Homo-oligomer: A and B are copies of this chain.
């Protein structure tokens, strides 16, 4: 027998109108014997219609999602909506408050914690609430990601190629509507523990993004997110209005050769910037040993030709870090 999730929402998901409240998760600890994690949530509902579940800060150091969703939560009124919008701007809320990818409480990576556990860590309890309470309510799921503090991406919206044709088509229709500068068809994924898979396995239409990174958001990248979420809600038939057109280019990362890993630590010197074209065999970056001057750097050669689609951010690199991702342009 499965135990119920311990989270107590202070909103009624079935009530009409706008509600701002919390998912209150009891969390007993040294500095508060009867404390809780208070995850902000907004529900906007108006009559019958599909439900969109919108999340940011699945990883706590990714900011375009929270910015777009804080704006949306404050501005969305029921009369603009047909159906329901559930907004959780910071899914891994403890991580978001700490400005870190994972939760400071349990080091939980939310996107590796599904389906979660009602009696597990704080991160697992949140995952379980999404798995068993929120995802079942949803028709469309948008989960914002960016590179976080240690990666930076060309801004793209993406969905996974799925065996169910309707689900696949609907997801890519929404990706197109989102209207990011780049769009990606993700062919295969390491599905273990991901929110993506949890949603898709329930048959939900799931859309995600990578919209920048470096532990910040620019005015440009935040604008992409703000516009994208509105476009997606319009396209999903929930928000009144028109999709604000935007051109997008399609990228693919077909195999492991797209990813370059460091075997050595040191000071990293990039020789290309995001969006630059690189030919196979060219050095993407050099790694300088930090222990002495006058020594040779290690050069990291591209294993395929394409565009630099993602890169490592911190000026020092550690052995095993993914340094660069090279993507190829494809027809949408």
Contact = CB atoms under 8 A, between A and B. Distances in A.
Interface of A: 3, 18, 20, 22, 24-25, 27-38, 40-42, 59, 61-63, 66-67, 69-71, 73-74, 87, 89-90, 96-97, 99-102, 107, 109, 112, 119, 147-152, 192-193, 214-220, 222, 259, 261, 263-265, 267, 269-273, 276, 288, 290-297, 312-316, 318-322
B70 A297 contact: yes
A69 B267 CA distance: 12
A313 to B, nearest CB: 5
A74 B313 contact: no
Given A35-B321, A222-B270, A28 B313 contact: no
Given A24-B261, A32-B318, A36-B319, 7 more contacts: A29-B101, A33-B147, A36-B320, A40-B291, A42-B294, A70-B267, A215-B315
A273 to B, nearest CB: 5
- Count of this chain's copies in the oligomeric assembly: 6
A215 B18 CA distance: 40
Given A63-B267, A67-B267, A319 B291 contact: yes
A299 B265 CA distance: 22
Given A222-B270, A314-B31, A263 B292 contact: yes
A313 B267 contact: no
A98 to B, nearest CB: 9
B70 A288 contact: yes
A185 B178 CA distance: 44
Contacts of A28: 101, 109, 112
A296 B74 CA distance: 7
